Amino acid sequence: MKEAADYVRQNRAVLVHRPVWLFSSGPVGDLATRHAPVEPKEMAGLRAMVNPREHRIFFGALDRGMVDGSSLGFAERLIAKTMVPEGDYRDWKAIEDWAANIARELGRAPARRR
Q: What is the pLDDT of residues 4-38, one digit of tens each?
A: 889 999 999 999 999 999 998 877 766 666 767 77
60: left (phi over 0), alpha (psi -120 to 50) or beta: beta
Cβ atoms of 49 and 40 within 8 Å: the answer is: no
Say which residue, 102 or 113, is predicted with more confidence. 102
State how far the Cα of 52 lies from the Cα of 22, in Å rounded to an integer.
7
- Residue 108: predicted pLDDT: 87
pLDDT level of residue 105 (50, 70, 90 thresholds):
very high
Beta bridge partners, 23, equal: 56
